[in-house]
Amino acid sequence: MNDKASAAKETFTLKDNRTGKTFELPVIKGTTGPDVIDVRKLYADTGCFTYDPGFTSTGSCESKITFIDGDKGVLRYRGYAIEELAEHSDFMETCYLLLHGELPTEKQKKDFDWTIAHHSMLHEQLVFFFRGFRRDAHPMAVMCGVVGALSAFYHDSTDISDVKHRMTSAHRLIAKMPTIAAMAYKYSIGQPYIYPDNNMGYAENFLHMTFGTPCEEYKVNPVLAKAMDRILILHADHEQNASTSTVRLAGSSGANPFACVSAGIACLWGPAHGGANEAVLNMLKTIGSVDRIPEYIKRAKDKNDTFRLMGFGHRVYKNFDPRAKIMRRTCHEVLDELGVKREPLLELAMELERIALEDDYFVQKKLYPNVDFYSGIIFRAMGIPVDMFTALFAIARTVGWIAQWKEMIEDPTQKIGRPRQLYNGAVERKYAPVHKRK
Ligand code: CMC
């Protein structure tokens, strides 16, 4: 048990009604947010495990990185409100903050920008690696593979016990992720890869590598680059979500950071997590026209129908998602800039948003549009192909994954993650030879 638990003054009394015995469990307080009941000695003391599939009441670690209050719609990185960061900061500064715990000085910021820019190119042999994939591969499949393969190329940053290796791998992952995603896209459409340009900002460079060609100059629209930068800030970290927990769990065995982030990408891909922004667009295409919205709203409310409104609801934010508020504004800015408000799919999205926000079922269950609802629409308006949406989320979340991974590795109390279970299968039985089985 760590110092905090043994120093905990408050306790939680647990009574076992089967035996009448009581147990005192230490209560640990964070700087803000709910207290936690320390159950680490519970099994040794009581012979029982806790049971919490989906981890709705379980804190898996101690962290100083991101704070969320789902009821109040609060999200802070290292103590700074997401609204302030989205308004005044940029993605590189936010990355520095998440990794180092403090906002950079002017010099630190300049050095960090330089370092990330100068790690953005891929080992040339890795560029050939892409050719092993089918052209119609999903970019997330390519990302899982190529990011995992980084560990085969950058041996000088895979020693997790070396602080310099840890930081270099963090820089490499943040820097190379947009290059990998853009290359996956270029490969899928048969266009030549566009190499990163170190004179460009991070979001600008991604748009340049995605939409540029060697045949003509591609001028990145500054409004779109700014919007993209803001989207990256909003997605940079989100506490112990499914993919971050995956990265931590993979890393808890001592696996290298490239392999761990590849595991995070795999988890993010699912439609209940990062894949939701892609699912939003697919859903809009399925709905097809405004007059069919009521039919789908009805289906979303039907308990016997598996259909859900993609981009609505959140496990943690039960009143509103603070990122969605900012994204809504950004979404309207982008649509105005591009003058695409009259695009049928986007019109459909805006109408769906209006109806769902007024519908009793959604209002009562507090199912508001989440960040993925708006990011899907923004990306669509920017001309980003639908299957690249989740890859963009992966670019943004990489800093969160790696900051959380680093924090875990640097925590002296860290252990391999190994949950237990409630076993409900067959009890012990005798093996029968095949000729005696019925
Ligand atoms: N459409 C219709 N009904 C819904 C929806 C939805 N999108 N989301 C939740 N509900 C209903 C659900 O049927 C349940 O009803 P009841 O209490 O009558 O059984 C109630 O709301 C609570 O749902 P839940 O599944 O217990 O809530 P959860 O916290 O486990 O799920 C969620 C959260 C995000 C997985 C879910 O809301 C969902 O599937 N949303 C659509 C997918 C989506 O947009 N995901 C992106 C999440 S944000 C990005 C990220 O952080 O990765």
Q: Could you report the per-residue pLDDT of 175-188, keeping only the tens digit for each? A: 999 999 999 999 99
Q: Which two tokens stand for residue 329?
A: 């504004």
pLDDT at 335 over 50: yes
Q: Which of 11-15, 178-182, 342-346 has the lowest mean pLDDT?
A: 342-346
In which band, very low, low, confident or very high, does the pLDDT at 3 lie, cut at 50, 70 and 90?
low
Q: Is the CB of 315 under 6 A from ligand 1?
A: yes
Q: What is the rounded average pLDDT of the residues 40-67?
A: 96
pLDDT at 99 over 90: yes
Q: Which two tokens stand for residue 31?
A: 């700087």
Please check whether residue 182 is in contact with residue 385, taking contact to mean a CB–CB distance below 8 angstroms. no
Distance CA 314, CA 316 (A): 6
Q: Is the CB of 308 under 6 A from ligand 1?
A: yes
pLDDT, residue 4, reads 62
In which band, very low, low, confident or very high, does the pLDDT at 342 lie, cut at 50, 70 and 90?
low
Mutate to test the pocket of ligand 1, among 314, 325, 352, 359 (most ligand atoms within 8 A of CB): 314
Distance CA 223, CA 335 (A): 11
- Write out the H or E segment, with its range, that includes residue 394: helix 389-409
Q: Give the CA dihedral 327, 330, 334, 339, nearest 10 degrees.
A: 100
Q: Which atom of ligand 1 is nearest to the CA of 365?
A: 21
Q: Is the CB of 278 under 6 A from ligand 1?
A: no
Catalytic residue list contains 71:
no
In which band, very low, low, confident or very high, does the pLDDT at 318 lie, cut at 50, 70 and 90?
confident
Percentage of the chain beyond pLDDT 70 is 97
Q: What is the distance in A from the centroid of ligand 1 to the CA of 316?
A: 10
Catalytic residue list contains 273:
no
Q: What is the rounded average pLDDT of the residues 335-341?
A: 79
Q: Which atom of ligand 1 is nearest to the CA of 311?
A: 44
- Edge-first strand listing for the sheet containing 66-69: 66-69, 74-77, 80-81
Q: Is the CB of 390 under 6 A from ligand 1?
A: no
Of all protein residues, the one whose alpha carbon is nearest to atom 24 of ligand 1 is 315
pLDDT, residue 336, reads 85
Q: What is the distance in A from the centroid of ligand 1 to the CA of 313?
A: 5
pLDDT at 2 over 80: no
Contacts of 278 (CB under 8 A, 6+ apart): 271, 376, 386, 387, 389, 390
pLDDT at 121 over 90: yes
Q: What is the rounded average pLDDT of the residues 378-396?
A: 92
Q: Is the CB of 397 under 6 A from ligand 1?
A: no
In which band, very low, low, confident or very high, does the pLDDT at 328 lie, cut at 50, 70 and 90?
confident
Q: Is the CB of 129 under 6 A from ligand 1?
A: no
Q: Is the CB of 367 under 6 A from ligand 1?
A: yes
Of the candidates 314, 336, 360, 411, the residue annotated as catalytic is 314
- CA 24 → CA 8, 16, 60, distances in Å? 11, 11, 20
Please give the mean pLDDT across all residues of the chain.
93
Please check whether residue 248 is in contact with residue 408, taking contact to mean a CB–CB distance below 8 angstroms. yes
Q: Is the CB of 275 under 6 A from ligand 1?
A: no
pLDDT, residue 1, reads 45
pLDDT at 97 over 80: yes
pLDDT, residue 315, reads 84
Mutate to test the pocket of ligand 1, among 308, 366, 389 (most ligand atoms within 8 A of CB): 308
Q: What is the distance in A from the centroid of ligand 1 to the CA of 252?
A: 29
Distance CA 137, CA 214 (A): 24
Q: Which atom of ligand 1 is nearest to the CA of 241?
A: 51
Q: What is the distance in A from the centroid of ligand 1 to the CA of 309?
A: 8
Q: Which two tokens stand for residue 44?
A: 């040794």
In which band, very low, low, confident or very high, does the pLDDT at 341 lie, cut at 50, 70 and 90?
low
pLDDT at 5 over 60: no
pLDDT at 322 over 90: yes
Q: Is the CB of 299 under 6 A from ligand 1?
A: no
pTM across the whole model? 0.90
Class of residue 122 by CB neighbours under 10 A (exposed 0-12, middle 13-18, buried 19+): buried
In which band, very low, low, confident or very high, does the pLDDT at 274 lie, cut at 50, 70 and 90?
confident
